[in-house]
Protein backbone atom coordinates (compact mmCIF):
# COMPACT_ATOMS: atom_id res chain seq x y z
CA UNK A 1 0.00 0.00 0.00
CA UNK A 2 1.13 3.54 -0.61
CA UNK A 3 4.53 4.47 -1.91
CA UNK A 4 7.41 6.01 0.00
CA UNK A 5 8.01 9.65 -0.86
CA UNK A 6 4.52 10.44 -2.15
CA UNK A 7 2.89 12.34 0.69
CA UNK A 8 1.69 15.55 -0.99
CA UNK A 9 -2.06 16.12 -1.13
CA UNK A 10 -1.95 16.47 -4.93
CA UNK A 11 -0.29 13.05 -5.31
CA UNK A 12 -1.41 11.15 -2.24
CA UNK A 13 -1.19 7.37 -2.23
CA UNK A 14 -3.19 6.27 0.75
CA UNK A 15 -4.71 2.84 1.31
CA UNK A 16 -8.11 4.58 1.67
CA UNK A 17 -8.95 8.14 0.61
CA UNK A 18 -12.09 10.16 1.28
CA UNK A 19 -12.02 12.90 -1.37
CA UNK A 20 -14.67 15.65 -1.41
CA UNK A 21 -17.33 13.42 0.13
CA UNK A 22 -18.76 16.26 2.26
CA UNK A 23 -20.62 15.78 5.53
CA UNK A 24 -22.11 12.48 6.64
CA UNK A 25 -25.65 12.03 7.97
CA UNK A 26 -28.05 9.29 9.00
CA UNK A 27 -29.08 9.05 5.32
CA UNK A 28 -25.49 9.00 4.07
CA UNK A 29 -23.34 7.46 6.85
CA UNK A 30 -19.64 6.75 6.42
CA UNK A 31 -17.23 4.96 8.72
CA UNK A 32 -14.01 2.94 8.98
CA UNK A 33 -14.29 0.38 11.76
CA UNK A 34 -12.19 -2.67 12.62
CA UNK A 35 -9.62 -2.49 9.82
CA UNK A 36 -5.95 -3.48 9.86
CA UNK A 37 -3.32 -1.63 7.83
CA UNK A 38 0.18 -3.09 7.74
CA UNK A 39 3.48 -1.98 6.22
CA UNK A 40 2.14 0.93 4.19
CA UNK A 41 4.69 3.35 2.77
CA UNK A 42 2.58 6.46 3.39
CA UNK A 43 -0.20 7.50 5.77
CA UNK A 44 -2.95 4.89 5.63
CA UNK A 45 -6.10 7.03 5.52
CA UNK A 46 -6.48 10.41 3.81
CA UNK A 47 -9.34 12.88 4.27
CA UNK A 48 -9.85 15.75 1.80
CA UNK A 49 -13.15 17.60 2.08
CA UNK A 50 -14.73 14.85 4.20
CA UNK A 51 -16.64 15.67 7.37
CA UNK A 52 -17.74 13.63 10.38
CA UNK A 53 -16.43 10.24 9.19
CA UNK A 54 -16.29 7.81 12.11
CA UNK A 55 -12.86 6.17 12.44
CA UNK A 56 -12.86 3.58 15.21
CA UNK A 57 -10.98 0.44 16.32
CA UNK A 58 -8.47 0.35 13.46
CA UNK A 59 -4.91 -0.92 13.69
CA UNK A 60 -2.05 0.71 11.74
CA UNK A 61 1.33 -1.01 11.88
CA UNK A 62 4.64 0.14 10.37
CA UNK A 63 3.46 3.14 8.41
CA UNK A 64 5.70 5.89 7.04
CA UNK A 65 4.60 9.21 8.53
CA UNK A 66 1.35 9.54 10.43
CA UNK A 67 -1.42 6.98 10.21
CA UNK A 68 -4.01 9.52 9.02
CA UNK A 69 -3.85 12.75 7.02
CA UNK A 70 -6.49 15.48 7.18
CA UNK A 71 -6.89 18.46 4.86
CA UNK A 72 -9.52 21.15 5.33
CA UNK A 73 -11.52 22.27 2.29
Q: Where are the domains of the chain?
A: 9-71
Per residue in 52-63, pLDDT tens?
Answer: 999 999 998 888
- Whether 5 has a pLDDT exceeding 80, the answer reads no
Mean pLDDT, the chain, rounded, equals: 81
- The stretch 16-42 carries a mean pLDDT of 89
Those residues with Cβ within 8 angstroms of residue 1's Cβ, 6 or more apart along the chain or in another chain = 13, 14, 15, 37, 39, 40, 41, 42, 44
> How many percent of the chain have pLDDT more than 70?
81
- The stretch 7-22 carries a mean pLDDT of 76
Choose among 47, 49, 36, 52: nearest CA to 14. Answer: 47
Amino acid sequence: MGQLGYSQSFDARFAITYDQTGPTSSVKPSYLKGNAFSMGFSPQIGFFGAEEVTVQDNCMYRTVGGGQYYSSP
